[in-house]
Structure 1
């Protein structure tokens, strides 16, 4: 397809963009606009229940995580925001329908609770599940966080306890049963296969990559051939879905944009 010139920044406040986002069906969130002018979005029900976002430092992964989480919250979802740096997602603190956790101990407990919630949802009838809010689990710095959880578990694990952290086990269960339970995982950073036990492309239907090496891109999205060239521009990366690569300019949404959008009664869905 013919490429079009992308703007240096695709802001949430750009003319008609917010209206385009708000017109998307439930369970769908806009990532950005491709170089051929198409809207590139995630459909959690029709395409993929989980999303992996991976960039190098300054590549915008936290921004994309915030962008997607905010859109699902606006649609009525609940969210568990796991923020191990404790400063990357300050927008999430105090918002209704959002649980924000930062310390390793709190993240551990939140994920163990997620395991119970996933299991509970699997017992619901289709009618009951249909009126149960979608649950979004947003984890920043996933690889280091999962390693910290593993080490944390070892500090108090008894000899008869399972070797694998129950927090990691709960995350694995949510990844396996996400579509059925209406639980969706958004990870910032590739989880090590030694921890989650599967290659990233086997766990996530949508992969967002920016400022990564060709080697990393091939590892995270081996179904793409040839591998696209990485971009050095902030907010400009590649979205891989069903083996197709879309060079995409991601939407920029600030913390203030999110809070205003989600707390203004005129903007929030009932």
Structure 2
């Protein structure tokens, strides 16, 4: 699918025909945005990319991408766990019954322990061929670098001598990354997976990497097969490079506000929502 015009400005959810294009996406597939060549850039959680990594400089729009992608999967019937350490970046999530929103470190820790139990339950269902009736689960983690560091420190405050050194909350996230596809659990993570926290191969688990305003070193680490980093860093709102299959597509991502998401998901039949 292609758009006739190259996107030069913010790509609103209300752009002509865009909402219809989003709603026509197959289950498990979401529209990231439109490339500067007019190509629809999508992510397919089932056959291509079970997890998505978003990495931007401050103000680069990572929160917008997490919100847009999570909303699209929710529209398709998924449930979501939204980890929002700033507590205000994803207020839309508090208004939806199929979303669990957690902000403080204790709440995020407990939610990830719950994720571990859910992952175990889903894996058992997969063995029994009963997983098809279970909603897809999206785990959206904002500000992952700081969040994972806070989880590690939080665990140290009360772990006993016999407890594992690594926070069980961090282990739960690792397990979701490694085995989530088979359990219909998918991680959309904002940040740079640190080898000291998630292991040396963590970034390789993301077949879709969305980058904006990153340094050449970060580009080389997260997208080494896509060639050198672009010489020009776009300051335009919502402009990213989406790296898939070793190719980088300069893309204008979809812009959805908190109100857009809540209205669309609570009243999807209203064309003005």
Q: In structure 1, how many angstroms separate the alpha carbons of the residues matched to 2:134 and 2:11? A: 33
For residue 237 of structure 1, report the CA deviation from its aligned partner: 1.3
For residue 200 of structure 1, report the CA deviation from its aligned partner: 4.6
Counterpart pick for 1:260 among 259, 263, 266: 263
Question: Does the 8 Å CA contact 1:190/1:200 hold for their aligned counterparts?
Answer: no
Question: Does the 8 Å CA contact 2:138/2:188 hold for their aligned counterparts?
Answer: yes
Cα 1:171–1:17, aligned 2, differ >3 Å: closer, same or farther? Answer: same
Instruction: Name the counterpart of 2:30.
Output: 29
| 1:102-141 superposed matches below 5 A | 102-125=103-126, 127-141=129-143
Q: In structure 2, how many angstroms separate the alpha carbons of the residues matched to 1:42 and 1:198? A: 24
Q: In structure 2, how many angstroms separate the alpha carbons of the residues matched to 1:190 and 1:242? A: 19
- Structure 2: tracts of 5 or more residues without a match: none
Question: Does the 8 Å CA contact 1:201/1:222 hold for their aligned counterparts?
Answer: no
Question: Does the 8 Å CA contact 1:235/1:249 hold for their aligned counterparts?
Answer: yes
| 1:134-149 superposed matches below 5 A | 134-149=136-151
Report which stretch shifted further, 188-197 or 147-156. Answer: 188-197
Q: In structure 2, how many angstroms separate the alpha carbons of the residues matched to 1:165 and 1:259? A: 33
Instruction: Name the counterpart of 1:79.
Output: 80
Once the two structures are superposed, residues 224-247 of structure 1 have per-residue CA deviations (whole angstroms, 9 ceiling, x without a partner) of: 113333322221110001111111
Once the two structures are superposed, residues 51-93 of structure 1 have per-residue CA deviations (whole angstroms, 9 ceiling, x without a partner) of: 0001111110000000000000000000000000000000000
Counterpart pick for 1:245 among 225, 245, 248: 248
For residue 182 of structure 1, report the CA deviation from its aligned partner: 0.3
Q: In structure 1, how many angstroms separate the alpha carbons of the residues matched to 2:207 and 2:79? A: 21
Question: Does the 8 Å CA contact 1:34/1:40 hold for their aligned counterparts?
Answer: yes
Q: Secondary structure at the match of 2:37?
A: coil
Counterpart pick for 1:171 among 173, 193, 205: 173
Q: Secondary structure at the match of 1:156?
A: coil
Give the RMSD, CA atoms, in angstroms: 1.6
Question: Does the 8 Å CA contact 1:200/1:220 hold for their aligned counterparts?
Answer: no
Question: Does the 8 Å CA contact 2:143/2:190 hold for their aligned counterparts?
Answer: yes
**How many residues were matched structurally?**
266
For residue 4 of structure 1, report the CA deviation from its aligned partner: 6.1
- Structure 1: tracts of 5 or more residues without a match: none
Instruction: Name the counterpart of 2:9.
Output: 8
Q: In structure 1, how many angstroms separate the alpha carbons of the residues matched to 2:220 and 2:257? A: 31
Q: Normalising to structure 1: TM-score of the pair?
A: 0.95
